[in-house]
Amino acid sequence: MISMILNTKLLNYFEVMILIISLIFIMGCGHKEPDYPHATVSGTVTLDGKKLTEGSIQALSPSASVSTYLDQEGRFILKHVPIGNVRFIVLSVEDTGKTEKDPLGNDIVIKVNRIPKKYALGIEKEIKSDVIDMKLELNSQ
């Protein structure tokens, strides 16, 4: 009987501790504004004049890195992009229709980046304030 009471108290103690740790984690992971000057950048990405409907875009600067996916219209919205010189990197992969075997003998679908190599290091833009409609027009030539 005493061991059941002790086990119950011990269980309650652990339940309370888990609850406290969970609350601290949730409260600590709340949305905070970055401590650097920033803007929300939205726009579209095209490749050879056609909307890039699959892929992602990343904004890189010495103070931060933010990324998001492109939607079906080639649009994006990047929040908390640092003010100043920012490098935008676009990635979009497509299936080649080819497969290879991994070391365990499983088939791996081979994919390639559709973005030309000349954009591998990104496109540098100066962000001064919120940009309503930034167009990244990429071309294969």
Instruction: Please give the C-alpha separations between residue 70 and each of 41, 109, 116, in angstroms, as whole numbers.
Output: 13, 22, 17
Question: CA quadruple 92, 98, 101, 107: dihedral positive or negative?
Answer: positive
* pTM for the whole structure: 0.70
Read off φ and ψ for residue 79, nearest 5 degrees.
Answer: -100, 150
Top-tier CATH class for 38-138 = mainly beta
Q: What is the pLDDT along the chain (141 residues), one digit of tens a residue?
A: 444 444 444 445 445 445 455 444 444 455 577 788 889 999 999 999 999 999 999 999 998 999 999 999 999 999 999 999 999 999 999 888 899 999 999 999 999 999 999 999 999 999 988 777 799 999 998
Is residue 67 within 8 A of residue 58, CB to CB? The reply is yes
* pLDDT at 92 (0 to 100): 94
* pLDDT at 37 (0 to 100): 85
Q: Give the domain ranges of the chain.
A: 1-30, 38-138
* pLDDT at 78 (0 to 100): 95
Pairwise CA distance, residues 76 & 65, whole Å: 15
User: What would you report as the CA-atom Rg of the chain, rounded to the nearest whole angstrom?
Assistant: 24
